[in-house]
């Protein structure tokens, strides 16, 4: 610890106070970064696909936010939910009429999690106006001036949706290539939807209206699947920025002789920020859970598909041999590889960005350890106890906290389950018992 002359304490405090006044005068000419404006564009895009049915999202005043059950947004959400539920039920019915397999269960999980995600966003929409208004009151007490916050949210939204669109187009190209091989005798669009959506058109007669409706629901579910990760990322951006705003003040004060009032006010600011994280986590923890669960399952699935069938092109409708399609028979391989790389990149991004909330909450500890002995006080000790004795992080329904260590845990889980899946699907798994029996029968008895 530093041991400067404590007689300089008050003069340094006065000079630092003057500097803070100058900083405040400069900041008066800037526009504060607000939670509502930072996530506005992202949530408007979400509403286009029936998520977050809250009135007033496009406005500038958080006080105008309302959840109205009779609004057209709620009606749109309700109709979309029943559409997704219809597809999920058809997937379950198809599985009951055929042999159980991973390929047959995947659509059930995909559309089932879409229904669950829509319900979670609908439940969250009820609490959204009061939460945003609470954040707005906190911003009035201590505004932040992160000019890049809104830009980061909007750019992330654009990048994630663009990559999701590319993945969706590649999946359509893969289905088109399979249609050209499996259903050459049928009209192109009819053969395409029957190949891509067998859980619907194996049991319901084909009609162009039903085909278009089914394709829209699939596109909608693909977007919702990606939007969960996007939403968690943007929420993490804001919460991290709120904590870093306090950390900047602490880092400027590191090693300086400052009075107890400074540590008291800073501790109260930190307390408000951590309480804000907890309140937000209570509202969005379900979205965090479904985001990580989805990523874990589909990374395992796409990794298995890529290694088992995608690269080798051994599917029952593979066009690899004929090379008459757009990508020369490599449509499925291109889709599986791109989807796998995109899924892994998106999952790593969600984990690292969401874990920054926890990392930013631990920054005050080294600063507080460096407080000079002559000005060490009860407020500093209380601040230290609060930082070290509490875990501040987003969570998945309180089952896990999103920290940096979670990424390694998820990676280990993926490797473990991938090995198990290969063992169950390996040809040796069925040959081994026969081999053992033959060896046993030919072994002479002593």
Higher pLDDT, 110 or 195: 110
pLDDT of 428 reads 52
Query: How many whole angstroms separate alpha carbon 307 and alpha carbon 238?
Result: 38
Instruction: Tell whether the model's pLDDT for residue 323 goes beyond 80.
Output: no
Distance CA 299, CA 106 (A): 12
> Quick check: 16 pLDDT over 50?
no
At 312 the pLDDT is 52
Q: Tell me if 38 is assigned to some domain.
A: yes
Residue 205 makes CB contacts below 8 A (sequence gap 6+) with none
What are the tens digits of pLDDT across the range 163-205? 999 999 988 888 888 777 776 666 777 888 887 888 888 888 8
Give dist(CA 358, CA 392) in Å, integer.
5
Give the number of residues written for the chain.
446
Q: In the prediction, which pLDDT does 20 show?
A: 47
Q: How far apart are CA 61 and CA 57, in angstroms?
A: 9
**Mean per-residue pLDDT, 320-343:** 72
Domain of 107 in residue numbering reads as: 33-425
pLDDT of residue 238: 94
Q: Is residue 100 part of a domain?
A: yes
- Angle CA(66)–CA(68)–CA(73) in degrees, nearest 5? 100
Q: State how far the Cα of 58 lies from the Cα of 64, in Å rounded to an integer.
A: 10
Q: Once rounded to an integer, what is the mean pLDDT over residues 9-26?
A: 43
Over range 266-285, report the average pLDDT. 92
Q: Is the pLDDT of residue 32 over 70?
A: yes
The fraction of the chain above a pLDDT of 90, given in percent, is: 36
pTM, two decimals, is 0.83
Buried b (16+ CB within 10 A) or exposed e, 155-187: ebbeebbebbeebbebbbbbbbbbbbbbbeeee
For the chain, the first-to-last Cα distance in angstroms comes to 80
Eight-state DSSP code of residue 261 = H
Q: Which 8-state DSSP code applies to residue 71? A: S
Tell me, yes or no, whether 388 lies in a domain. yes
CA torsion sign for 139, 140, 141, 146 is positive
Q: Please name the residue that has the structure tokens 């106070």.
A: 17
In a domain, 174, yes or no: yes
pLDDT value of position 224: 92
Residues 196, 203: Cα–Cα separation, whole Å: 14
Contacts of 378 (CB under 8 A, 6+ apart): 260
Q: Given pLDDT bands bounded at 50, 70 and 90, which one contains residue 415? A: confident
Question: What is the pLDDT, as a whole number, of residue 155?
Answer: 94
Q: On the CB side of 391, how many CA atoms lie within 13 Å of its CA?
A: 10
Is the separation of the CB atoms in 55 and 65 below 8 Å? Answer: yes
The per-residue DSSP string of 179-201 comes to: HHHH-TTS-HHHHHHHHH-HHHH
CA dist 313 and 403 (Å) reads 39
Task: State the pLDDT at residue 419.
Answer: 78
Residue 347 in any domain: the answer is yes
- The pLDDT confidence band at residue 97, using thresholds 50, 70 and 90, is confident
Is the pLDDT score of 444 beyond 50? no
At how many degrees (to 10) do helices 260-305 and 331-361 cross? 160
Instruction: Tell me what the pLDDT averaged over the chain comes to.
Output: 81
Q: Which residues contact 333 (CB under 8 A, 6 or more apart)?
A: 306, 310, 311, 313
- CA–CA dist 136, 119 (Å, integer): 26
Burial of 420 (0-12, 13-18, 19+ CB in 10 A): exposed
pLDDT value at position 59? 87
- The answer to whether position 61 is within a domain reads yes
Model confidence band, residue 102 (pLDDT cutoffs 50, 70, 90): low
Segment 5-28 mean pLDDT: 44
For residue 425, the model assigns a pLDDT of 60
The verdict on residue 259 lying in a domain is yes
pLDDT, tens only, 210-251: 988 999 999 999 999 899 999 999 999 999 999 999 998 888
pLDDT of res. 188 = 74
Phi, psi of 395 (to 5 degrees): -135, 160
What's the structural domain count of the chain? 1
Task: Give a yes or no: residue 441 inside a domain.
Answer: no
Least trusted range by pLDDT, from 8-12, 46-50, 56-60, 338-342: 8-12
């Amino acid at each position: 610890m530093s041991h400067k002359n404590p007689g300089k304490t008050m003069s340094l405090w006065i000079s630092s106070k003057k500097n803070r006044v100058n900083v405040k005068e400069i900041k008066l000419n800037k526009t504060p970064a607000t939670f509502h404006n930072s996530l506005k564009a992202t949530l408007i895009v979400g509403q286009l696909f029936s998520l977050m049915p809250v009135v007033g999202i496009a406005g500038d005043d958080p006080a105008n936010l309302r959840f109205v059950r009779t609004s057209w947004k709620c009606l749109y959400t309700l109709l979309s939910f029943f559409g997704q539920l219809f597809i999920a039920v058809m997937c379950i019915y198809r599985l009951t009429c055929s042999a159980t397999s991973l390929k047959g269960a995947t659509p059930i999980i995909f559309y089932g999690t879409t229904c669950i995600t829509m319900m979670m966003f609908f439940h969250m929409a009820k609490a959204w106006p009061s939460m945003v208004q609470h954040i707005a009151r906190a911003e009035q007490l201590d505004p932040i001036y992160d000019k890049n916050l809104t830009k980061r949210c909007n750019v992330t939204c654009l990048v994630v949706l663009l990559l999701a669109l590319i993945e969706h187009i590649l999946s359509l190209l893969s289905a088109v290539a399979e249609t050209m091989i499996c259903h050459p005798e049928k009209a192109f669009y009819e053969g395409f939807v029957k190949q891509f959506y067998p859980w619907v058109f194996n049991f319901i007669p084909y009609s162009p209206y039903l085909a278009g409706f089914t394709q829209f629901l699939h596109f909608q579910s693909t977007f919702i699947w990606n939007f969960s990760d996007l939403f968690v990322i943007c929420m993490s951006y804001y919460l991290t920025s709120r904590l870093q705003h306090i950390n900047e003040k602490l880092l400027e004060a590191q090693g300086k002789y400052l009075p107890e009032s400074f540590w008291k006010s800073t501790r109260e600011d930190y307390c408000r920020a951590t309480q804000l994280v907890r309140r937000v986590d209570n509202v969005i923890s379900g979205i965090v859970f479904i985001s990580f669960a989805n990523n874990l399952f589909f990374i395992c699935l796409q990794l298995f598909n890529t290694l088992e069938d995608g690269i080798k092109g051994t599917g029952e409708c593979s066009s690899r041999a004929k090379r008459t399609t757009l990508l020369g028979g490599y449509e499925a391989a291109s889709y599986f590889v791109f989807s796998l790389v995109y899924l892994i990149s998106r999952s790593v991004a969600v984990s690292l960005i969401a874990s920054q909330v926890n990392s930013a909450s631990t920054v005050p500890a080294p600063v507080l350890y460096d407080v000079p002995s002559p000005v060490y006080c009860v407020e500093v000790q209380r601040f230290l106890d609060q930082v070290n004795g509490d875990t501040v992080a987003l969570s998945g329904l309180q089952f896990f906290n999103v920290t940096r260590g979670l990424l390694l845990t998820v990676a280990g889980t993926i490797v473990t389950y991938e090995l198990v899946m290969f063992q169950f699907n390996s040809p040796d798994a069925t040959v081994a018992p026969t081999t053992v029996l033959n060896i046993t029968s030919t072994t002479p008895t002593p």
